[in-house]
Amino acid sequence: MTLDLAIRGGTVVTAADTMRCDVGIRDGRIVALGEDVGPAARSIDAAGLLVLPGGIDSHVHLDQFQGEGIVMADGFRSGTVSAAAGGNTTVIPFALQRRGESLRAAVEAYHAKAQGEALVDYAFHLIITDPTPGVLGQELPALVKDGYSSFKVFMTYDDMVLSDRELLDVFAVAKAENALVMVHAEGFDSIRFMADGLEAEGKTAPAFHAAARPETVEREATHRAIALAELVGIPIMVVHVSGRDAIEQIEWARRRGLTVHAETCPQYLVLTAGDLDRPGTEGAKFVCSPPPRDAASQAAVWRALAGGAFQTFSSDHCPFRYDDPAGKTGPAARASFRAVPNGIPGVAARLPILFSEGVVKGRITLQDFVALTATNHARMYGLYPRKGSIAIGADADIALWDPERRVTLTQDLMHHGSDYTPYEGLEVTGWPVTTLVRGRVVFDGGRATAEAGHGIFLPRGASGGL
Ligand code: URP
Ligand code: ZN
Ligand code: ZN
Ligand code: ZN
């Protein structure tokens, strides 16, 4: 039978191998891999290009409720266009339960936001902020069975923080239902203490966001999360690990035989706390939590990445506009770092940054790159083997990369809703030139080429671990 599409002459890369071969696609799936896959209705010439599994970004925030006049800069349309521009074919944003709200209602609300809007495929993690008996006893177990097999819990933020007891109760449900818990590990009371002290001294500029959340705060919460998970007997995923202190805790736990997974993000490789100290309110462009650290911590994150300590590399794309009262520089945000919305855009920049700084500079291999950006996300979050690899039977989710193209990262290349990129001016080598989702070219030549709504919801199975 004739193929719908053949990708010819490229170099196919997986987490295990690099091979010169063609890819044959029919009905959205990869059906042939080989030197000559035969006739096809359409062919793409991939000579000189790398044929990689499309990126899976398992940590992005899209159209997530913020409260108090703050608006996230990307919904599912612009956020997934930006994802596709950056070589991604699947994203996993969050369905946030607001306190007092049913978790099921939250999930339905996020489905409504995504319906007909997404360019790439998507799933949802759940954010649990109100673990009532009904949520723990009925809603959460039912939702895990329906394909929402991971949830995020927060150890800080006024409207999201869970007590240790609540964390333990959520962990117990994760154990019973075989779900994976992602932990935002920063200590709520420690941050409040530090921030109160800084504000009392009149230290309100964006730079003090980093001062209020030193590595000690992250280290303490990471340790506590690990201990609570040990009590219950579950693996956890520590997300957005920023530096040496948290890495030390994770490695300590592993030496004790505990299963602790870890994720890091581009901001911890190429930004520092010094970026928050730019003149005026400019530093607000870099306010995220945990904050970027220093050069020594960047080096520690690189060492850990190269040494296999991280399973996933995600963007933590959490976009706000800078020059906008509903974003980084509203009246409250100008008055104190405490009111600057936390988060920075990065879904389009994640892969080029890791490719250039990691693979091109010889810090990690191409196989590591594919594992860290696609395959491990699929395994960890129950999407494998449908997603995350180039293999017969898998969805034809592919990014064609020009490994030699030199690009200066700029706002106009990001295709996101923010009015800036924190990575402006960063020079990279290697660029995703064409992105295919289930065999359809969705981004090519610098623009989206498929209809909004091409992306579909992916119910997920249990975490496969690694
Ligand atoms: O600053 C950040 N990372 N904002 C996004 C929300 C989160 O904690 O991941
Ligand atoms: Zn977080
Ligand atoms: Zn996040
Ligand atoms: Zn379509």
pLDDT, tens only, 315-332:
999 999 999 999 999 999
- Our CA angle for 425, 54, 453, nearest 5°, is 95
Mean pLDDT value across residues 346-354: 99
The residue count of the chain comes to 466
Q: Is the pLDDT of residue 464 over 90?
A: no
Q: Which atom, in ligand 1's list, is nearest to the CA of 154?
A: 8
| 178 Cα–ligand 2 center, Å | 22
Average pLDDT over residues 141-163: 98
Task: Tell me which residues have their CB within 5 A of the ion that is ligand 4.
Answer: 454
| Nearest residue to 398 (alpha-carbon basis) of 410, 389, 411 | 389
Residue-level pLDDT at 268 = 98
For 24-34, the pLDDT digits (tens) are 999 999 999 99
Q: In this predicted structure, what is the pLDDT of residue 44?
A: 98
Higher pLDDT, 68 or 338: 338
The pLDDT score that the predictor gives to residue 465 is 79
Distance in Å, CA 328 to ligand 1 centroid: 14
What pLDDT, on a 0 to 100 scale, did the predictor assign at position 1?
80
Cβ(286)–Cβ(277) below 8 Å: no
Residue 431 pLDDT exceeds 90: yes
The pLDDT mean for the chain works out to 98
- Distance between CA atoms of residues 404 and 363, nearest Å: 17
User: For ligand 1, atom 4, which residue shows the shortest CA distance?
Assistant: 343
Instruction: Tell how far the Cα of 239 is from the centroid of ligand 2, in angstroms.
Output: 7
CB atoms within 10 A of CB 370: 25
Q: How far apart are CA 249 and CA 300, in angstroms?
A: 13
Ligand that comes closest to the CA of residue 185: 2
- Tell which atom from ligand 1 comes closest to the C-alpha of 184: 8
Q: Is the pLDDT of residue 363 over 90?
A: yes
pLDDT per position as a tens digit, 211-262: 999 999 999 999 999 999 999 999 999 999 999 999 999 999 999 999 999 9
CA of 153 to the centre of ligand 1 (A): 12
Residue whose Cα lies nearest atom 2 of ligand 1: it is 343
- CA angle at residue 62 from 59 to 67, to 5 degrees? 115
- pLDDT tens-digit map of 390-426: 999 999 999 999 999 999 999 999 999 999 999 999 9
* pLDDT band at residue 79 under the 50/70/90 scheme: very high
> What is the identity of the amino acid at 93?
P
CA of residue 18 to ligand 2 center, whole Å: 34
* Number of the ligand 1 atom closest to the C-alpha atom of 289: 1
Bridging pattern class, strands 440-444 and 447-448: antiparallel
How many Cβ atoms from other residues are within 10 Å of residue 265's Cβ?
29
In angstroms, rounded to a whole number, what is the distance separating the alpha carbons of residues 221 and 409?
Answer: 34
Ligand 1 pocket, Cβ-based, cut-off 6 angstroms: 61, 184, 240, 288-289, 316, 318, 342-343
Three-state DSSP at 460 gives coil
* pTM of the complete model: 0.98
Q: Tell me, rounded to whole angstroms, the distance of Cα 254 from its chain centroid.
A: 23
Site of tokens 């996300």: 377
| Best mutation site among 289, 314, 317, 350 for ligand 1 pocket (most ligand atoms within 8 Å of CB) | 289
